Amino acid sequence: MVFLSKIKYFFFFAIFCVLIFFPKGASVSGVTNLRIEILALCGNDVQESGEECDGVDLAGSSCVSKGYAGGSLLCNANCTFNTSSCTSGGGGGSGGGGGDAVITSVIFSGRAYPLSKVGILKDGQLVLTTIAGPDSNFNASLSGLSSGNYIFGVYGEDNQGRRSSLFTFPVFITRGAMTQVSGIFISPSIAVDKSVVERGEDIAIFGQSASNAEVTISVNSEEEFFVKTNADKEGIYLYNFDTSPLEMGKHSTKSKAALEGGVSSFSKTVNFAVGTETESDQAPTKISIKGDLNRDLKVNLIDFSIAAYWYKRSLSSDFKKIEAEKLNNDGKINIVDFSIMAFYWTG
């Protein structure tokens, strides 16, 4: 009993160590390039990226460089300049420049699916959503956090509304710190076109991943089978798996993606059965409507946000194709495009 008790305490101690020491630049098993790093720490007397100043470190600035006649330039507790002690030409104080709120934030970046929705959870609650770019990359920040341990989760939602598995990781937030979580690689979405497949027929395994990613598909049987395929520019992948080697009964499949040295975790598991007749589930078709920029069969605020991002900007080559198909094909985003989206609005 004493031995078992010691094992129990060792187990809890190990969990404690993971929560406390993991966040400082470590990686998560199964995702080869996830990094959690402190980019800047407000209050350490060193001006860093994202800070105007820090304590006595004014980054070479002065009241004169800020346009005042003289005086003493100070630094607020939130690492922004305080010009209240600077003097104008008349010699009086300029006023203003209080502020003692300490900025604490987390920046999330990584790969999802092209023009897809990305959700970020804090301790199981959805706190932030963003849209990945045409290249599948996303970047989002969360501010106003208190110091302490958090469990963050990230998921992607593909163009048919299918969600990825939830990728979770612990982070310890330091007061006044800017923490970056980079290298997130959201697992692919996955589906099959048959709930029951006659043995010897093909079953289509499909979904969405990062643009041009290599997708590895696992089919669970008495012998586990692994096959590979490539996603296209839109992140769509499809593999027709021959069920001849599978025994009769229940089976499952899952997938993971690899791109430029990064590897995602496995997707959700999808079940199917091999039997004596086929029962269709869903077909891997790509249907779209006008104004539907992220191909989720809806025109809503997500599409509006995508269009707003490109408003009066030079369109990327990939987005030009989307604009030509979904909007008015004039190679730019303007009020005409927003009118088209309003006409086809689904909410």
Whether residue 335 has pLDDT greater than 70? yes
pTM tops 0.85, yes or no: no
22-42+102-184: what CATH class?
Answer: mainly beta
Q: For 36-164, where are the alpha helices, taking DSSP H only? A: none
Higher pLDDT, 32 or 234: 234
Phi, psi of 242 (to 5 degrees): -75, 120
Determine the pLDDT at residue 270.
94
Would strands 270-275 and 194-198 be described as parallel, antiparallel, or unpaired?
A: parallel
Separation of alpha carbons 286 and 297, rounded Å? 10
Same CATH fold assignment for domains 22-42+102-184 and 191-280: yes
- Name the residue ranges covered by the structural domains of the chain: 22-42+102-184, 49-101, 191-280, 301-343
Residue 163 makes CB contacts below 8 A (sequence gap 6+) with 155, 156, 157, 189, 268
CATH architecture of 191-280: Sandwich (2.60)
Residue 343 makes CB contacts below 8 A (sequence gap 6+) with 291
Determine the pLDDT at residue 103.
65
90-145 pLDDT per residue, tens: 444 444 455 445 567 899 999 999 999 999 999 888 999 999 999 999 999 998 88
**Eight-state DSSP code of residue 306:** H
